[in-house]
């Protein structure tokens, strides 16, 4: 497993953010029973950095809390079976790892949303990582039923780690 964390803004928390990110990624992969060793890159940035990428990639002229850039596409969320035969380009030829994609998180949003929702920055960062990992595994929340599924899964992943509101 390769989890790369790039802290573009030298963000400092009162907890070990890298350990938390690793823990949540592993819990999400275990929760969805991903059969592969995976590679995920996480970029911690600020509102300006995520705003720029949001505008460039999604044509949305505003900062957001998290962006997910999956490498694989799924007919059914977390159906890993077709990957080896239909999307073998998502596997690193040197390591054999499933290159899931990238996650970009605004540290400014982590802090602001933690305060707004009345919970810890640890909980907010953990939530955003879990949320984004589900996107990397094909889940979405455009429809109410999809949103309900994601919310349940996010809560169960965080609860399994003792990360609560």
Record the pTM.
0.94
**Domain annotation covers residue 165:** no
- Check residue 119 and give its pLDDT: 94
**Domain annotation covers residue 75:** yes
Element (H, E) at 102: strand 98-106
**Domain annotation covers residue 134:** yes
> Residues 76-93: pLDDT tens digits?
999 998 888 888 899 999
Q: Calculate what percentage of the chain has a pLDDT beyond 90.
A: 88
Q: Using an 8 Å Cβ cutoff, are 115 and 54 in contact?
A: no
**Domain annotation covers residue 101:** yes
φ/ψ of residue 9, rounded to 5: -115, 15
Q: Using an 8 Å Cβ cutoff, are 72 and 83 in contact?
A: yes
Structurally, how many domains does the chain consist of?
1
Within the chain, residue ranges assigned H as helices are 17-31, 47-58, 83-86, 107-117, 121-136, 144-160
> Which residues constitute the domain of residue 97?
2-160
Q: What is the CATH number of the domain that holds 146?
A: 3.40.390.30
């Amino acid at each position: 497993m390769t989890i790369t964390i790039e802290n573009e803004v030298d963000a400092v928390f009162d907890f070990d953010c890298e350990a938390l990110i690793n823990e949540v990624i592993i819990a999400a992969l275990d929760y969805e029973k991903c059969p592969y060793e995976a590679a995920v890159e996480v970029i911690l940035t600020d509102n300006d950095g995520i705003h720029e990428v949001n505008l460039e990639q999604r044509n949305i002229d505003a900062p957001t809390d998290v962006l997910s850039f999956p490498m694989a596409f799924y007919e059914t969320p977390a159906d890993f079976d077709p990957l080896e035969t239909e999307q073998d380009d998502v596997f690193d030829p040197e390591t054999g790892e499933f290159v899931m994609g990238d996650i970009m998180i605004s540290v400014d949003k982590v802090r602001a949303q933690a305060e707004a929702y009345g919970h810890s920055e640890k909980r907010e960062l953990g939530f955003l990582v879990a949320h984004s990992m589900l996107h990397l595994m094909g889940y979405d929340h455009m429809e109410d039923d999809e949103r309900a599924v994601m919310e349940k899964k996010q809560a169960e992943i965080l609860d399994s780690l003792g990360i609560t509101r």
